[in-house]
Structure 1
Amino acid sequence: MIDLQVVALCVTAALAIGVFLRQRRRSLPPGPKGIPVLGNVFDIPKEFEWIAYDRWSREYRSDVIYLNLAGTPVVVVNSAQAAHELFEKRSLLYSDRVRLPMLNELVGCNWHFLFMDYGDDWRERRRVFHQFFHSNASVGYRPRELKVARELLSRLLESPDDFMTHLRHMAGSLILGVTYGIDVQPSNDPYIATAETALHAISMAGNAGAYLVDYIPILKYVPSWFPGAAFKRQAAEWKKATDAMLERPFKAVTQAMAEGKAHPSMIASLLTELKEDEDKDRKEKVFSGVAAAAYTGGSDTTVSALGSFFLAMLLYPDIQRKAQIEVDRVVGRDRLPDFSDEPSLPYVTALVKEVLRWRPVTPLAVPHRLTSDDVYNGYHLPSGSIVVGNVWAILHDERTFPDPEAFVPERWLNEDGSLRSDMRDAELAAFGFGRRICPGRYMAVASVWIGIASVLSTFDLLKPRDANGHIIEPSGDYYSGLVTYPKPFRCAFKPRSESTVELIHNGLQESD
């Protein structure tokens, strides 16, 4: 005969577990309800996910929301306050990365320390990177940044319709020179062409929520020919580009060093300093991955931000004129800006900050991973959750940035035109959070600043006209991905004076 006390104990335990699970579910952050098994898989749009996350945050009146992606818990952080509390104050819990099978395994980016677990491998690579790109070290690259900015002016003068190509060449020339000592070709450079494909692959594959295989990892074993496995075929093509970006420039440096022809660079310095008792093969693997990571980060920021700057100047011509007035007053019309002018150009600096805020380069930060159960504002955050910082929502929060869709550099300035101390670093969310913030941000911002100041000094950016004299309006649309870029638009670059051509040519010679 069954012991009634055992039955009662089992029933009580079952009821207690049920109550606990219901209470735990109720204590999770709010979010869309979803469907059985798959949860919110079909609720998340395939593009511009950050817009949906921001909308849900408003609907549920919570700066953190919860999603269930086929059993994988996802927490989206939508405010600067929540981001600071979780990623900064509790960084020990929130500094790990989510392993994305599409990016890390199928596309083959397991060498990229941006996407590595928070552990010894990441720390080693982060130290190597920091050695060459911390704030003081980055100042040493300003002569090269000035040179590529002036090369950009020359290219815009010669073929203005290809301005996005020129931005990619500018970014590629800078970072390939710094990391590998490679002088790129004036056009159709093979390193830049390979990297462009690889950067697109990383942008698409690294976007949280973009591929179902990231939440149902067993799908990575599906044969490429299987219906619905287009992601496998795409990944195979992208892997060719990421492998080439990792290997080819590194091999070029080692060959140049063997021949005694290598230019000074990060890789040359690292290889020269290798000690005999160190594992050469392992160290070379570390160095090549760090160099390739430097290329992806620096290139993305420069191309995206300067593309957004060009677009903003078409949409807000009054702001362009205000910035040019400041440049003319400080720099004059008989020379080009350089970095010594930066303290005297607060409006230009405010404009750079507004570009990074208005159209952030990475609207969703690279996802973090929560390593232990946590509680925020009374909400239970489960261990193992993917934690996504919604950069877009943070930089479009009306409480900090009134009328956030408008491009308003003045929001960063006091009434006397000086930079607001209470807004210092408010745009930093554009570079990620906590211990995983972009370590190359100093060089990236400097490159964007000198590029913007140089263009303002020499060109009027105008909406072009068609054959009938009608103004061609830019769509203002963007590509969706881990990194966003403006969709193609037309822009006229009109030299600001008759002496501009001579000024650009002389400035380019001075920077050599």
Structure 2
Amino acid sequence: MIMNFSSTEFIFNTKDYSVSMTWLVGLIVATLVYQRHSKSQQKLNPKNLPYPKGPTGLPYLGNALQMPPTDQWITFAEWAEEFGSMTGLRVLGKNIVILNTFDAAMDLLHKRGAIYSSRPAFPLLQQFGGWDFLVSTAPYGEYFLTQRRMLHQYFNPSATRKYYDIVTSHARSLAYDLLERGERVKSLNRMYVGATVMLIAYGYEVTDENDVWINNAKEAMLGATKIGTPGAHPIDIFPILGKLPYRIWGKDFGRNIEALKKGAHDVCVKPYAATKERILRGEAMPSIMSRLIEENTAPDGTIGHEKEISAATSVIYIAGADTTVSTIDTFIVAMLTYPEIQKRAQKDLDNLLHGERLPTFEDRDQLPFLSAIVKETLRWKPVAPLGIPHTSIEDDTYNGFFLPKDTMFLVNAWGVCYDSATYPKPDEFNPWRFLKEDDVGELSLRSDIRDPEDVIFGFGRRLCVGRDLALATLWITIATLLSVYDICAPLDDQGRDIKPDLEYVTGTVSHPKPFRCRFVPRSPRKLSKLREAKVAHDHA
């Protein structure tokens, strides 16, 4: 659940910026950098191996003008048909390699993690916008490793089980509220996923859709989106351009930077300070932050690693504002579009639960079709189609190609998930692709097909720490909603289903466009069980 910045680093959309003196300066600098870079690479490539193949670019500009302004992963997948497992690009002297296959990503980012685990710099976001605390975009080093160790002890598979009661309770509360407020499903989804991570991270209880911390996270992510794709602005290419007056980038640019700074403060500094104050007063509920502070408090009362603690907990917080929320929304869109899949999943739930109770995590292994739905939801609409870029810290060679130091590597997660050789008819939502049936009709998950979970959550030393909590949240939410409701499309004047738009809003995280749906109770008995669970939660 750790936030992913899907980044097409150094990818320009020339429509976004007017041709100006700044671009002229940038072009001159790029020319000098490119010439110096080319000469240095000739010295460091003694075997004179080729750079990975890619589309032919222009002198100095390289492939800058060939980059599509949106949905770059689709173009990258088309290029992969011509150039194979890797596509080599150069943009204003910067080397970018698109990894088009799972095997290439594993070979480099996982097996050679010592070389490929760092991140490119995002000067606009980090230096000018104040988002320098994120473990997701931090370079590989002690700051990253300290946060990683802090998070891992609370989000490894064993530790995650301790949160099952919280996750289950919030999934049931979401389902209960949808009975009367189904038209607010996206807002309620955001609230309850946020409530889960806020309780785990800070011991803070969210009770309302308009909770200030949930809204702060939402506004912070919106502020991050307004500056564009991380790495794509000219300031990210040449940080010295950030010293020029902000107005040259447009009338809203300065306000967007201020909103970015405010967002960073609201999701990192504010919740840490408020929770720390409650802890010192002895009023705080147990949480990851309270335990980290206790572990890092010296006998004289000073707290060590405060920046790392505030950053680590903020990443948990931010995750609840976006990635898992988007994936649950995608599940609902899939059920509206493929009602037959919904009916098949409900059949398995009914055969197991008999209407006597709601699903729990103890049922997980007995409901393979639901697990397949989770996998297909992740595959069908990847929440971060290009993941977060890696960068190499030394020269390397792979499959006969030379990969220079400081090259940026992007995994085309969308392309891997839409590879028709692995997933036939990839545009279709089809959980059956992950299942096999034995001689007596019992279903089980296949082990001979690539699991989208191994693609979506990153690679190597950058694998998402919150993976197990995210998957648990998805599974119990899906199981609970399908147990209690038929998720139905609204009807038009002629009584026909109004299907949702399958085009997504792409940015830092991909989200479905606004959609409408109806949550129709499946039976009074199931609703009764949901009410009982809600009453038990309220009195806990």
Q: How far apart in 1 are the matches of 2:521 and 2:41?
A: 72
Match of 1:49 in 2: 72
TM-fit CA distance, 1:217:
2.6
| Pick aligned residue for 2:258 from 236, 259, 263 | 236
Task: Flag structure 2 segments of 5+ consecutive residues without an equivalent.
Answer: 1-38
One-letter identity of the residue aligned with 1:76: I
TM-fit CA distance, 1:154:
1.2
TM-fit CA distance, 1:272:
2.1
Match of 1:174 in 2: 196
Contact 1:133 1:440 in 2 (8 A): yes
Q: How far apart in 1 are the matches of 2:300 and 2:56?
A: 54
Deviations 1:253-305, CA, capped at 9 Å, x for gaps:
12212322110101111112333268946522211100001122344332011
TM-fit CA distance, 1:332:
2.0
1:218 aligns with 2:244: no
Tell me the TM-score normalised to structure 1 length: 0.91
Q: How far apart in 1 are the matches of 2:453 and 2:227?
A: 25
TM-fit CA distance, 1:423:
3.3
Contact 1:77 1:390 in 2 (8 A): yes
| Pick aligned residue for 1:419 from 445, 450, 474 | 445
> What SS does structure 2 have at the residue aligned with 1:76?
strand
1:29 aligns with 2:55: no
| Pick aligned residue for 1:260 from 269, 282, 287 | 282
Contact 1:369 1:387 in 2 (8 A): yes
Task: Flag structure 1 segments of 5+ consecutive residues without an equivalent.
Answer: 1-15
Match of 2:170 in 1: 148
Q: How far apart in 1 are the matches of 2:228 and 2:382?
A: 16
> What SS does structure 2 have at the residue aligned with 1:371?
coil
Match of 2:125 in 1: 103
Question: Closer, same or farther in 2 for the Cα pair 1:243/1:291, shift >3 Å?
Answer: same
Deviations 1:172-218, CA, capped at 9 Å, x for gaps:
10000000000113231000000011233446668455433322333
Question: Closer, same or farther in 2 for the Cα pair 1:356/1:190, shift >3 Å?
Answer: same
Contact 1:220 1:232 in 2 (8 A): no
Match of 1:64 in 2: 86
| Pick aligned residue for 1:505 from 508, 518, 531 | 531
One-letter identity of the residue aligned with 1:364: L
Match of 1:459 in 2: 485
Deviations 1:314-342, CA, capped at 9 Å, x for gaps:
11111111111111111221211111110
Contact 2:129 2:257 in 1 (8 A): yes
Instruction: Note the 1:57-456 alignment, pairs <5 A.
Output: 57-58=80-81, 60-202=82-224, 207=229, 210-228=232-250, 230-276=252-298, 280=302, 282-416=304-438, 417-423=443-449, 425-456=451-482
TM-fit CA distance, 1:73:
0.8
Question: Closer, same or farther in 2 for the Cα pair 1:376/1:48, shift >3 Å?
Answer: same
> What SS does structure 2 have at the residue aligned with 1:403?
coil
CA RMSD of aligned residues (A): 2.4
One-letter identity of the residue aligned with 1:271: I
> What SS does structure 1 have at the residue aligned with 2:207?
coil
Q: How far apart in 2 are the matches of 1:224 and 1:155?
A: 45
Question: Closer, same or farther in 2 for the Cα pair 1:261/1:279, shift >3 Å?
Answer: closer
Tell me the TM-score normalised to structure 2 length: 0.87
Q: How far apart in 1 are the matches of 2:402 and 2:129?
A: 34
Bigger CA drift: 493-502 or 431-440?
A: 493-502
Question: Closer, same or farther in 2 for the Cα pair 1:231/1:388, shift >3 Å?
Answer: farther
Q: How far apart in 2 are the matches of 1:299 and 1:487?
A: 16
Question: Closer, same or farther in 2 for the Cα pair 1:424/1:393, shift >3 Å?
Answer: closer
TM-fit CA distance, 1:25:
9.1
One-letter identity of the residue aligned with 1:190: V
TM-fit CA distance, 1:381:
1.4
Question: Closer, same or farther in 2 for the Cα pair 1:221/1:278, shift >3 Å?
Answer: farther
TM-fit CA distance, 1:18:
12
Q: How far apart in 1 are the matches of 2:364 and 2:417?
A: 24
Q: How far apart in 2 are the matches of 1:138 and 1:204?
A: 34
Deviations 1:449-498, CA, capped at 9 Å, x for gaps:
00000011011111101345343221112111231110101111111123
TM-fit CA distance, 1:427:
2.6
Question: Closer, same or farther in 2 for the Cα pair 1:179/1:17, shift >3 Å?
Answer: closer
Question: Closer, same or farther in 2 for the Cα pair 1:212/1:25, shift >3 Å?
Answer: farther
TM-fit CA distance, 1:310:
0.3
Instruction: Note the 1:469-480 alignment, pairs <5 A.
Output: 469-480=495-506
> What SS does structure 2 have at the residue aligned with 1:141?
helix
One-letter identity of the residue aligned with 1:355: T
| Pick aligned residue for 2:508 from 472, 482, 486 | 482
One-letter identity of the residue aligned with 1:73: N
TM-fit CA distance, 1:90:
1.0
Question: Closer, same or farther in 2 for the Cα pair 1:249/1:480, shift >3 Å?
Answer: same
Question: Closer, same or farther in 2 for the Cα pair 1:494/1:23, shift >3 Å?
Answer: farther
Alignment length (residue pairs): 496
One-letter identity of the residue aligned with 1:482: T
